[in-house]
Amino acid sequence: MSRRAVLTTVGAVPVAAAAGTLLGATGASAAPATINVSAQRQTIKGYGAMAHAAWIGDLTASQRETAFGTGEGRLGFSILRIPVGESSADFGRDLATAKRAVELGVTVFASPWNPPASMIETFTRGSQTNAKRLRYSSYAAYAQHLNDFTTYMRNNGVPLYSISVQNEPDYAHDWTWWTTTEMVRFLKENAGSISTRVMAPESFQYVKSMSDPILNDAAALANVDIIGAHLYGTSYSNFPYPLFKQKGAGKELWMTEVYYPNSNANSGDAWPEALDVGEHIHRAMVDAEFQAYVWWYLRRSYGPMREDGQISKRGAMMAHFARFVRPGYTRIDATANPASNVYVSAYRGGDTVVIVAVNKNTSSVSQQFTLSGATASGSVSNWLTDASRTVAPQNALTMSNGSLTVTLPARSIMTFVTSVNGTTPPTTPPPTTPTPTPTVTPPAGGTGPRVAYTMNSWGTGFTASIDITNTGTSAINGWTLAFTLPSGQSITSGWGATYSPSSGQVSARNVDYNATIAPGATINVGFQATTSGSTAEPTAFTLNGVACTVV
């Protein structure tokens, strides 16, 4: 079955059903949408798409700037997905695009479709007599293959953020099948040797029976950093993942491939169908609480970039998020559905607040936004996409005493960006069990923790995302991460830790909700900073006085 067939048979939400009852031709008023700038949810890693030179050709130099630049007329993508070559001869196919992406501050990760041919055996799976799977005797060699690709990319200027075990192991008619038992076994026995973050299982339809066994197996989970999922035909009712919230502490949750609602030729500019993409992203962020949203082919007639390199209407939906909700921002509480067919989400990075509003109604809607937890007055930048405009900057609006009322045009998406002051510290939902009183202890066994530092810069500012992994065999109860910021860099705000001082030799100390780092667990902290021009990164980190391994 093609994915298009799957979309029509396994639970895709029909456009008419998803749209609900539309308002009439006259405008209407929605209930106020409250934005709580202090109620922090997931940390956003970014938005992006797949490049696959072997199948559809590489992006041109100009198209790379359109994809990863953040200015007007750009998509603002901060994530790039590339394939893992099946042999070392294929490793460099997507290197040029990946290198330019990294130079522009983009996070790059990779997914394999097949292991090297020498590691594959065929078997009969139902009516498929030539199904492929990885030989168990080749598990260690396959882990080394993933490491070899990681090393090749790193040595050529592309430090992979993560690598996946397998693309769509449960929809592998044309590539390699994996059962949940095989996936868990590989993760337990072999994934620990991989030198970057590990992603699994990338189920084609967010099938929880593929990822539940990973979350329920402590040894397998310890060797996974990111639960990856695809959303082909996944109904909105299946977006939430309670088991991940229960057992995924310290792990990330990414949506790593989709096209929506179809892959019809030239549907990238279909209107108002493109608004379905806007709602889909909204629900992926709000209902599913994904940290990343990654489209299938970046340049395609049904994708965010048309074959001529211009941004499509579907691309505009993504740009309304990607250009303004930058890596390291956090989603904050907002009234998600203040009126029928109106969808609102909000994000915060330091003192910047971003609101994205989708109006799928056939008439305009008067929408009030009210900020709580901060003082906000002043100019509000805003951008609009509707039938005739594409991420078009609009005249600045004015927020007064934390309140802004706007007219959302019929069938449109708008992004609003403003600054707040007098903010209260972000809050995080309390853990389900009381956090023990922290005691500062070094990692067990003298094993240094692992730190990954990801920097995304622009002009005179940048955000830094820091992943701290406990590589020891016992919990770390209370921690202080120490590092030296290069000259000219100064922290203005942060999340997940308290930072002091703002420059020079910095100490980042845990907050209540992340004081304990379980063995094998990873937590994420970070900060926003200004710079006089230096984009250098700290070269060394210590956690509770123990030198860290920097990846």
Distance CA 529, CA 462 (A): 6
Total domains present in the chain:
3
Q: Do you find a cis peptide bond into 261, omega within 30 degrees of 0?
A: yes
Report the candidate in 194, 290, 311 with the shortest Cα–Cα distance to residue 234: 290
HEC string of 242-293?
HHHHHHCCCCEEEEEECCCCCCCCCHHHCCCCHHHHHHHHHHHHHCCCCCEE
Buried b (16+ CB within 10 A) or exposed e, 496-516: bbebeebbeebebbbbebbbb
- 280 and 341 in a single domain? The answer is no
In order along its 551 residues, the chain shows pLDDT tens digits of 444 344 434 443 333 333 333 343 446 788 999 999 999 999 999 999 999 999 999 999 999 999 999 999 999 999 999 999 999 999 999 999 999 999 999 999 999 999 999 999 999 999 999 999 999 999 999 999 999 999 999 999 999 999 999 999 999 999 999 999 999 999 999 999 999 999 999 999 999 999 999 999 999 999 999 999 999 999 999 999 999 999 999 999 999 999 999 999 999 999 999 999 999 999 999 999 999 999 999 999 999 999 999 999 999 999 999 999 999 999 999 999 999 999 999 999 999 999 999 999 999 999 999 999 888 889 999 999 999 999 999 999 999 999 999 999 999 999 999 998 744 433 333 333 333 333 334 444 445 799 999 887 777 778 888 989 999 888 898 899 999 999 999 888 777 788 888 889 898 988 766 788 988 888 888 887 888 888 899 999 999 889 999 98
Supply the CATH number for residue 519's domain. 2.60.40.290
In a domain, residue 219? The reply is yes
Whether 528 and 491 have beta carbons less than 8 Å apart is answered as yes
Strand ranges for 335-460 from DSSP E: 342-349, 352-359, 365-372, 378-385, 392-393, 397-399, 403-408, 412-419, 450-458
239, 291: one domain = yes
Assess whether 375 and 514 both reside in one domain. Answer: no
User: Could you tell me the CATH number of the domain that includes residue 345?
Assistant: 2.60.40.1180
Residues 369 and 269 in one domain: no
Closest CA relative to residue 276, chosen from 304, 311, 314, 310:
314
In a domain, 16, yes or no: no
Same-domain status, 321 and 343: no
Rounded Cα distance, 461 and 165, in Å: 35
Q: Does 302 lie in the same domain as 355?
A: no
Domain boundary, last residue among 327, 349, 366: 327
Is 18 inside a domain boundary?
no
Q: Tell me, what CATH number does 162's domain have?
A: 3.20.20.80
Last residue of a domain, one of 303, 327, 351: 327
- Shared domain for 479 and 542, answered yes or no, is yes
248 and 152 co-located in one domain: yes
- The residues that are catalytic are 168, 257
Same domain, 340 and 418: yes
Q: Do 400 and 416 lie in a common domain?
A: yes
Same domain for 215 and 135: yes
| Residue 232 domain boundaries | 46-327
* Domain boundary, last residue among 306, 327, 348: 327
Integer CA distances (angstroms), 319 to 50, 106, 280, 368, in order: 15, 15, 14, 23
312 and 334 in a single domain? The answer is no
Could you tell me if residue 270 is inside a domain? yes
Do 137 and 86 contact (CB within 8 A), yes or no?
A: no
Dihedral angle of Cα 270, 273, 277, 278, to the nearest 10 degrees: 110
Q: Report the C-alpha gap between 424 and 235 in whole angstroms.
A: 36
